């Protein structure tokens, strides 16, 4: 058996979203995106290659992986085996300390940790760029969980030009993220379905046209730690992604569009606008799920918690607090 490697990675939250693919085999996105790693959530993954195993053995959160997850993880191990020139099957054990597949980007931390643990377990020494490229092929957004802190994923136009890099380290800005978990069940419609349908929205082109300005705004706001210019850009960007999702033609004929939101999601959106009107510097963003991520600066945490408390009780939600987190790392080898 090869030595067992344990790696960890945080999920990342997109401030500028990846929505739609240029190449769905290689996960080359239609647009560049920007994210921040969430240090309040963690995936831990161990990998050991073993020549005596007849097939990969994969356990997720303590249970044997279901067919779909098994194929995805085993397919990613094939990429690693090909890079290393080996054939051995592997034992993989992975666990999340947060809800899986509910719009908290569990696939981003999962494939980042798997790429790092898997490549090291077969003695590949990939640099950050090559790890990001490898993780991207498992799940696009995983490319962004390899570097630490605030990260940009350059869309690129080929396998070797599409990877993520750090814009600023975790300690650069005292920005905090409160994830409000309204529903911790796996979402009904995967992000893969959303990416595939995106191009059918009449607003998709319009969204892509606004993105280079949004990317500039968000990049500059991060550099200057300027919350009042970050907030409207991030919030409008999330709405733009969801407007495309809602107006896309999904594969099932009975659906008029992809709604990732629940009534409680809108409740929270309207509360955030109200809080802002009352002078609290906070904004929201939402990935492909119903849960809402609130962004604010550390100095405003007390006020935010006071506003949130009654709402959380009324909505039956719970919260996960994060600061900008590190990139993927080795826990044990």
Binding site for ligand PMV (CB under 6 A): 14, 17-18, 33, 105, 107, 139-141, 191-192, 195, 287-288
* 33: Cβ contacts below 8 Å, ≥ 6 apart: 14, 16, 17, 18, 141, 144, 152, 153, 155
Nearer to ligand PMV, 87 or 210 (CB): 210
**Least distance from ligand PMV to the Cβ atom of residue 91, Å:** 25
Nearer to ligand PMV, 46 or 141 (CB): 141
Tokens linked to 273? 């606008």
Nearer to ligand PMV, 105 or 215 (CB): 105
* 197: Cβ contacts below 8 Å, ≥ 6 apart: 245, 248, 249, 250, 251, 258
**Least distance from ligand PMV to the Cβ atom of residue 263, Å:** 20
Q: 275-291 burial by CB neighbour count: b if 16+ within 10 A, else e? A: bbeeeebbbbbbbbbbb
Residue with tokens 């990139």: 327
**Least distance from ligand PMV to the Cβ atom of residue 186, Å:** 12
Tokens linked to 322? 């994060």
Nearer to ligand PMV, 15 or 80 (CB): 15
**Least distance from ligand PMV to the Cβ atom of residue 139, Å:** 4
Nearer to ligand PMV, 89 or 195 (CB): 195
Tokens linked to 255? 């659906």
**Least distance from ligand PMV to the Cβ atom of residue 210, Å:** 16
The C-alpha atoms of residue 180 and residue 320 are separated, in whole angstroms, by: 7
């Amino acid at each position: 058996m090869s030595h067992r490697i344990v790696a960890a990675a945080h999920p990342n939250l997109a401030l500028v979203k990846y929505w739609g693919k240029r190449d769905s085999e290689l996960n080359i996105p239609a647009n560049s995106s920007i994210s921040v790693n969430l240090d309040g959530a963690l995936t831990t993954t161990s990998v050991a290659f073993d020549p005596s195993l007849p097939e990969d053995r994969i356990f997720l959160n303590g249970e044997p992986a279901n067919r779909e997850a098994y194929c995805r993880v085993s397919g990613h191990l094939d990429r690693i085996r090909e890079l290393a020139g080996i054939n051995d099957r592997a034992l993989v054990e992975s666990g999340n300390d947060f809800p899986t597949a509910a719009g908290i980007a569990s696939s981003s931390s999962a494939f980042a940790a798997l790429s790092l643990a898997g490549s090291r377990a077969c003695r590949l020494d990939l640099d950050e760029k090559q790890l990001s490229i490898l993780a991207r092929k498992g799940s696009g957004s995983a490319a962004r969980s390899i570097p630490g802190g605030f990260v940009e994923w350059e869309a690129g136009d080929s396998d070797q030009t599409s990877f993520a890099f750090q814009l600023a380290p975790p300690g650069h800005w005292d920005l905090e993220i409160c994830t409000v978990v309204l529903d911790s069940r796996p979402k009904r419609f995967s992000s893969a379905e959303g990416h595939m349908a995106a191009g059918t929205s009449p607003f998709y082109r319009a969204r892509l046209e606004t993105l280079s300005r949004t990317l500039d705004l968000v990049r500059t706001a991060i550099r200057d730690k300027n919350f009042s210019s970050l907030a409207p850009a991030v919030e409008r960007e999330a709405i733009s992604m969801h407007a495309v999702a809602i107006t896309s033609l999904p594969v099932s004929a009975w659906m008029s569009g992809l709604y990732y939101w629940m009534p409680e999601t809108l409740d929270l959106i309207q509360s955030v606008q109200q809080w802002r009107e009352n002078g609290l510097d906070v904004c929201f963003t939402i990935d492909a799920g119903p849960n809402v991520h609130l962004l604010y600066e550390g100095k405003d945490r007390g006020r935010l918690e006071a506003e949130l408390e009654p709402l959380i009780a009324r909505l039956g939600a719970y919260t996960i607090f994060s600061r900008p987190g590190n990139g993927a790392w080795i826990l044990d080898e």
